[in-house]
Amino acid sequence: MASSLFWYVREFFRAEWIRKFLFARTAPLVTPPHFRGFPEPTGRTCQHALFCMMACPAPGAIEVVHAGDGWMPKIHKGHCIRCGLCVEACPNGVLKSGRILETMEREGTSLIFSFRIAIDLELCTGCGNCCTACPVNKEADAQMGAGGHSSNDEVIMRVQDGDIVVIHEDKCTGCKTCEASCPNGAIRIARILEGSQEPVPEGVQ
Amino acid sequence: MKRVVDVNIPLGPIHPCFKEPARLKCEAKGERIIGVEVELGYMKKGIERIMKGRPWQEVMFLAERVCGICSVIHNLVFIEAMEQISGIAVPPRAARLRVIANELDRMQSHLLANFSYCYTIEHETLGMYLLDLREQVMDELERLTGARVTCAYIIPGGVRCDLRKEEAAALLASLERMEGDLRRYTGMFENGPMIALRSRGVGILTPDAAERAHAVGPTARASGIAVDCRMNHPTYRQLGFAPVTRPDRDNFARVMVRFDEVFQSIGLIRKCLTDLPNGVVRGRGVCTAGEVRYSGEAPRGELTYFIRSDEFGRIVEIQIQTPSIMNIEACCHEMIIGSDSIADVTATFISADPCIACTER
Amino acid sequence: MSLLQRIKNKVRARSIHVAYVDVGSCNGCDIEVLACLAPRYDIEQYGIYVHNNPREADVLLVIGAYTPGWEEKLAMVWEKIPSPKAAIAIGNCPISGCLFNRRETFIDPPVRKHIPIAAEVPGCPPRPTEILQAILSVRDSVFFNWEAEHP
Ligand code: SF4
Ligand code: SF4
Ligand code: SF4
C-alpha cells in the first residue's frame, strides 16, 4: 500500500504534472505535413500512361478520366487506402500525397514497371483475338486482319503458322486488353514492379 | 467422471473489454472456472484466398491487413520471404531502417496491449498514460513512414523512404523522453499492490503447459521460455539481440515482459541510429519463382509465411501462421482453467494479448 | 421550438454514447477508434463517451467488412440501440470492402445494405481526428431537433 501511495504522490507532485494539470489544453488536432493523405493533383499534365491504375492495390480506387481536353486521375474516396503507390509509379509526377513526391525527387527513388507476356500454348488455339485486340498492334499495323496475321515486324505478337509468337515483349504497355479478349484464358500479362534508386551522392546523409 | 457445471457463462462477442469479437464460453462451478471454449468465426475474410494469383504490390497490402495492430511485421516477413525466393539483396541502410520501423511498431503494439490490460483490470489512469505514450510512438512511426497504421514501408529490395538527419535527431530525442516516461509508468505497475492483487499469481502458465499449447512470443517468454525469432535474423544478430524472459509465469509477468521489451526496442533503435550506414535505401530486383517458409517475430510471437510463387513473382500458394492462435489456445486451455472468478477470465484473456483479426484472417 | 426540445438538444449535444462493433476488420480501424480515447484526442471533452454497450448507445461505429458470421447479428445489435440513433461506417471496409472486396472473398460489403448508415469516414484507416469529426457531425445532423423531425 505504502509503496503504491509513494508512486502516486511522486507522480502527482512532479512539476510537469502540476503544470499539465493546471494548464491542460488539448493539443491542436492538426494533420502533420508528412501524413500520406489522399493523392492530389500537382498540376502537371497527365500523359495517360495508366501506371497509377496498374500499381494501385485497391479495387476501384483510381481511374484516369477525361478532364477538359486531356486526362486526369480521379481518386475514389472509400476505396483508396492512401498507400501512395500511384504517386510513386507515375513517371510524370501528376499526383502528390504527403511528402512522397518530394522525397522521391530528393532521394531519386522510383518504381519501375515492366511487363511480361506469358502464353499457355496448351490452352492457346491460335485464334489471334489477342493480336487484333492489342492497341499497340493496331498502332503498328493497322491492316492486321481478324486472324492476327501480320507481315509487320513492329507488332508485339502475331500468329505464324497457327501458333502465336511474341516478337516485341518490351513494347507491351500492360493494358491487359488481350487478356480480356482471349476466349480460353491462355494469355496473361504480368505487371512487374521494381523499386530503384539513384546512387546517393557523398555527404548528403 | 461427470463434470459438475453450475453455470455456463458466455462472454462476447461484443464485450466492453474485448477490442475484437470473440466469444468465450466459460463453464463455472460456483465461482471457479473449470473450462473455457473460444468460439471464433466473426472475422473470417479469406485473405489467403484473395492473395493467390497476385503480384507483391497487391499482396503486400493484403498481408499488412492481416493484422492492423502489428502491420509492419507482416509487411516485413512477407517481403523478406519474397526476397529470399528471388535472391534480392537489401542495402545495409535499408536493413537498419526496417529494424527501426519494426521496433517502433512493436513498441506501440506492446503499449496498446498493456493499455488493454490496465483497462480490463480497471486501472484507467495507468491505461491512459500508456495510451498517451503510444500516441508519441505513433507520431514517430508516422514521421518515418508517412502513416500511423498500415504503413506500407517495406518493399522488395529496401524501404520506401529514407530517414533524414534531422528526423533521426528528433527520433533520438523523443526516444529519450519516452524512456523516462515509461520508466515511471513501469514503476507504477510494478509497485502497485492493487495491481498485484489482480495480476500476481493469476493465470499461471507453467513452462510445460506453454510447450504443450505451443505458446509463443511474450506469453511463452513470461513462462521462462526463451523463444524469439529475432535471434535468427541477420540484422538483429548484428545488433546483439538477446530475448527478454521472466520466470514468474502469471499475468503480471506477461505485462512486465512487454514493458521490458519496449525498453529493449528503444535500445535497439538507438543502436541502429548511432551507426546508420550511408548509402541507398532501395536496391533493385525482380521477384521470381520459388518456394520458402520464413518466420519473423511479431509483437505477439512467431509469424510464419509459406509462399510459393510463379516465374513473375505472383503468389501461387500462400499460408500464414499467426502467433495468436497458439496463445489463445494456451490461454483457454491452460491459463484460465482454475481462475477464481469470472472477472479474472477477461483479465487473463487480455493479458495474453489475443488478436482475433490475425487468427482468422 | 419548445422548451423541452431545447433542453433535450442542449443535453444531447454533450452526451453522445458510442458503441463500436467490429464486423470483420483488420483491427486497423479498431485501434484508431481506441486511439480517440487517448489524452491527445480526449474524446470525452466533446461529450462523447465510449461504452461499447449497445443498449445505452446513441452512435454505433461499424468497423469492418461484414463477414458471414455477422449475418443477422449486426441487425440485432442495431435494433437494441434506443432511438434516436445513428450508425457511422469507419474506414473503407464498411464502405466498399477495402482490399478484401475481390473474387474468392467471404465478405459481403457494403454495410449500407444491412443497416442504415448516417455517415461514412473514408480512409484505411482514417485518422482519429477524422473519426472525431464524423461523430461530431452526426451529433448535429441526426440528434439535433430529433423529436420535432420525427413526430
Ligand atoms: S493511394 Fe494507393 S489506393 Fe489510393 S489511388 Fe493511389 S495507389 Fe490506389
Ligand atoms: S486470344 Fe488466347 S487463344 Fe487466341 S491467340 Fe491469343 S492467346 Fe491464343
Ligand atoms: S478500412 Fe483498412 S484499416 Fe480499416 S479495417 Fe478495413 S482494411 Fe483495416
φ and ψ of A116, to 5 deg: -125, 140
Q: Are residues A122 and A186 in the same domain?
A: yes
Q: What sign for the dihedral angle of Cα C36, C40, C41, C47?
A: positive
A193: enclosing H helix or E strand: strand A187-197
Highest mean pLDDT among B86-90, B105-109, B211-215: B105-109
**CA distance, residue C1 to nearest chain A CA (Å):** 34
A148-174 pLDDT per residue, tens: 777 777 778 888 877 888 888 888 888
Indicate whether B1 pLDDT > 50. no
Number of residues that this document lists for chain A:
205
Is residue C38 within 8 angstroms of chain A, CB to CB?
no
Q: Does residue A18 form part of some domain?
A: no
**CA distance, residue B125 to nearest chain C CA (Å):** 11
Q: Does residue A48 form part of some domain?
A: yes
φ and ψ of C90, to 5 deg: -100, 120
Q: Does residue A127 form part of some domain?
A: yes
For the domain spanning C15-139, the CATH number is 3.40.50.12280
Indicate whether A41 pLDDT > 80. yes
Lowest mean pLDDT among A98-102, B73-77, B263-267: A98-102
B229-276 pLDDT per residue, tens: 888 888 888 888 888 888 888 888 888 888 888 988 898 888 888 888
Q: Are residues A120 and A186 in the same domain?
A: yes
Task: Provide, for chain A, the percentages of residues in helix, strand and coil under a 3-state DSSP scheme, each rounded to the nearest 5.
Answer: 25, 20, 50
Which residue type sits at B230? R
* pLDDT reported for residue C111: 81
Indicate whether B151 pLDDT > 50. yes
Which of C20, C30, C98 to mutate to test ligand 3, by most ligand atoms within 8 A of the CB atom? Answer: C98
Indicate whether A145 pLDDT > 80. no
Q: Could you give the C-alpha distances from B32 to B26, B36, B55, B172, in angstroms and in order?
A: 10, 11, 51, 49
Which of C25, C100, C107 to mutate to test ligand 3, by most ligand atoms within 8 A of the CB atom? Answer: C25
Q: What is the ipTM of this complex?
A: 0.83
Nearest ligand to the CA atom of A156: 2
Indicate whether A202 pLDDT > 70. no
Is residue B283 within 8 angstroms of chain A, CB to CB?
yes
Asked if B299 contacts B73 with a C-beta cutoff of 8 angstroms, the reply is yes
- C-alpha B49/C-alpha B212 separation (Å) is 30
Which of A130, A156, A157, A178 to mutate to test ligand 2, by most ligand atoms within 8 A of the CB atom? Answer: A130
Alpha-helical runs (H) found in chain C: 3-13, 28-35, 73-80, 92-96, 128-138, 146-149
Q: Does residue A34 form part of some domain?
A: no
Minimum CA distance residue for ligand 2 atom 2? A182
Strand-strand pairing, C16-22 and C59-63? parallel
Q: Tell me, in angstroms, the distance from the centre of ligand 3 to residue B33's CA.
A: 36
* Residue among A83, A86, A189 with most chain B CBs within 10 A, to mutate: A83
CB atoms within 10 A of CB C34: 21
Q: Tell me, in angstroms, the distance from the centre of ligand 3 to residue A149's CA.
A: 49
Nearest residue to B76 via CA among B354, B295, B251: B295
Own/partner pairs, B233-238, CB within 8 angstroms, 24+ separation: B233/B296, B233/B297, B234/B95, B235/B95, B235/B96, B235/B98, B235/B99, B236/B99, B236/B268
Angle among Cα A130, A132, A137 to the nearest 5 degrees reads 100
Q: Where are the domains of chain B?
A: 54-359
Across chain A, mean pLDDT equals 80
Neighbours, chain B (3 or more CB pairs < 8 A): A, C
Percent pLDDT > 90 in chain B is 0
Q: Where are the domains of chain C?
A: 15-139
Q: What sign for the dihedral angle of Cα B189, B190, B192, B197?
A: positive
Chain CA centroid to CA B212, Å: 21
φ and ψ of B97, to 5 deg: -65, -35
**CA distance, residue B38 to nearest chain C CA (Å):** 15
Q: Could you give the C-alpha distances from A160 to A125, A156, A170, A181, B268, in angstroms and in order?
A: 12, 13, 19, 19, 61
- C-alpha B106/C-alpha A132 separation (Å) is 53
Q: Which residue of A has its CA nearest to B161?
A: A103
Highest mean pLDDT among A37-41, B51-55, B103-107, C131-135: B103-107
Closest partner residue to A4 (CB to CB) among B147, B194, B286 is B194
Q: Does residue A3 form part of some domain?
A: no
- C-alpha A161/C-alpha A128 separation (Å) is 11
Q: Are residues A66 and A123 in the same domain?
A: no
Q: Could you give the C-alpha distances from B361 to A188, B45, B294, B351, C75, in angstroms and in order?
A: 28, 6, 18, 21, 23
Instruction: List ligand 2's pocket residues with C-beta within 6 A.
Output: A 119, 124-130, 164, 181-182, 184, 186-187
DSSP, collapsed to helix, strand or coil, labels residue B177 as helix
Q: Residue B47: its chain C contacts at CB < 8 A?
A: 100
> Which residue range is the domain that position A89 belongs to?
40-109
* pLDDT reported for residue A52: 83
Indicate whether A182 pLDDT > 50. yes
* Grid cell for residue A191: 505487371
Chain CA centroid to CA C122, Å: 13
Beta pairing partners, A62: A75
Lowest mean pLDDT among B134-138, B149-153, C51-55: C51-55
Q: Residue C129: its chain A contacts at CB < 8 A?
A: 29, 31
- C-alpha A40/C-alpha A82 separation (Å) is 11
Q: Which residue of A has its CA nearest to C29?
A: A81
* pLDDT reported for residue B360: 79
Angle among Cα B196, B211, B302 to the nearest 5 degrees reads 85
Indicate whether A55 pLDDT > 50. yes
Minimum CA distance residue for ligand 2 atom 8? A124
CB atoms within 10 A of CB C12: 18
A21's CB contacts (< 8 A; 6+ apart) are none
Nearest residue to B155 via CA among B48, B55, B46, B272: B55
Contact A78 C132 (CB under 8 A): no
From the number of C-beta atoms within 10 Å of its C-beta (0-12, 13-18, 19+), residue A180 rates as exposed
* Residue among C20, C25, C27 with most chain B CBs within 10 A, to mutate: C27
Provide the number of structural domains found in chain A: 2
Contact A29 C41 (CB under 8 A): yes
* pLDDT reported for residue C9: 78
C49-100 pLDDT per residue, tens: 887 778 888 888 888 888 887 787 788 888 888 878 888 888 888 888 888 8
Indicate whether A188 pLDDT > 60. yes
Which of A117, A149, A156, A187 to mutate to test ligand 2, by most ligand atoms within 8 A of the CB atom? Answer: A187
Nearest residue to B350 via CA among B75, B119, B70, B136: B119
Size of interface A-C (CB pairs under 8 A): 43
Nearest residue to A188 via CA among A178, A198, A197: A178
Q: Which residue of A has its CA nearest to B276?
A: A205
For the CA of A157, the nearest atom of ligand 2: 6
Looking up residue A178, the CATH number of its domain turns out to be 3.30.70.20
Contact C92 A57 (CB under 8 A): no
Nearest residue to B252 via CA among B322, B198, B326: B198
- C-alpha C105/C-alpha B50 separation (Å) is 6
Is residue C21 within 8 angstroms of chain A, CB to CB?
no
From the DSSP assignment, how many helices (H) and strands (E) are in chain B? 14, 8
C91-110 pLDDT per residue, tens: 888 888 888 888 778 887 78
* Grid cell for residue B13: 462477442
A122's CB contacts (< 8 A; 6+ apart) are A186
Is residue B66 within 8 angstroms of chain C, CB to CB?
yes
Neighbours, chain C (3 or more CB pairs < 8 A): A, B
Q: Are residues A178 and A121 in the same domain?
A: yes
Contact A205 B143 (CB under 8 A): no
Looking up residue A54, the CATH number of its domain turns out to be 3.30.70
Give the class (CATH, top level) of B54-359: mainly alpha
Closest partner residue to A205 (CB to CB) among B148, B165, B311 is B165
Size of interface B-C (CB pairs under 8 A): 124
**To which residue does cell 478520366 refer?**
A65
Write down which residue in A61, A94, A109 finishes a domain: A109
* pLDDT reported for residue A26: 67
Q: Tell me, in angstroms, the distance from the centre of ligand 2 to residue A118's CA.
A: 11
* Grid cell for residue A27: 493539443
